[in-house]
Each structure stands twice: as structure tokens, then as C-alpha cells.
Amino acid sequence: MMKRSIAAFLLAVTLFGASTASAQIIIPPGGSKFNPPLPAPPPSPKIEVPAVPQMDALPSHNYLPAPRPSFGDKITNCLEEGAAGGLGPSDREEYSRSCANSR
């Protein structure tokens, strides 16, 4: 009876010891669980060769017309012109209306 209880005790200790040992964290030499390893370095930047202008190539031009200013931009410019011309507030109001509509 004594041999069986000793064998059962040894078996229980062995199984218990194996489960706790497998749950432990294996720390590499020189490391610590309070000092985790560094993250992986970021990928290196993509290096591209810049476009070199050719000596005999014709320059390319953008022949599109300039965008038209909005009505608010026209009013602002007209108010600034009126103020630069020395007009008073009521005169600037009248001038900006006629100026913005004529442009």
C-alpha cells in the first residue's frame, strides 16, 4: 500500500512539475522580463532615382487658362481697391458691388 501511495505521489509531483515548468517564460541570456526585447526596425526607405531633364528635349507647357476667381474673391479685391482709393465705408459698399459685377 505504501509503495502505491509513493508512486501516486511521485506521479502527481511529476505531472504538476511538468505543467508549471511549461508555463514558465524562457528568457534569453542577458535578458530580463522587466526589459523586453526591442521591436523590429522599420523598413528601410524606398530610394528612387530622380528624373534628369534631357538637354535636347522640348520643355512642356501648360496652356490651360488660369482658374476664374470666385465672386467672394472679386468682392474682397474690390473692397481692398476701394479702401486703397480712400473711399468711405458706404462708398466702398457701392463701389464693390458695381466692381464685382463688371468683372
Please give the Cα distance from 16 to 9 (Å, whole number): 10
Supply 91's cell numbers. Answer: 462708398
Number of domains in the chain: 1
Mean pLDDT score of the chain: 83
Q: Which residues contact 71 (CB under 8 A, 6 or more apart)?
A: 100
Residue 18 has pLDDT above 60, yes or no: no
Residue 19 has pLDDT above 70, yes or no: no
- pLDDT given at position 13: 74
Please give the Cα distance from 82 to 95 (Å, whole number): 7
φ, ψ for residue 31 (rounded to 5)? Answer: -105, 175
Asked whether residue 24 is domain-assigned, the answer is no
Whole-angstrom CA distances from 32 to 26, 38, 39, 40 are 10, 12, 15, 18
Domain ranges, residue 73:
69-103
Asked whether residue 57 is domain-assigned, the answer is no
Supply 15's cell numbers. Answer: 505531472
3 state SS of 35: strand
CB 7 within 8 A of CB 15: no
Give the number of other CB atoms < 10 A from CB of residue 82: 19
Asked whether residue 102 is domain-assigned, the answer is yes
Structure pTM?
A: 0.39
The pLDDT tens digits of the residues spanning 60-96 come to 888 899 899 999 999 999 999 999 999 999 999 999 9
Asked whether residue 47 is domain-assigned, the answer is no
Asked whether residue 29 is domain-assigned, the answer is no
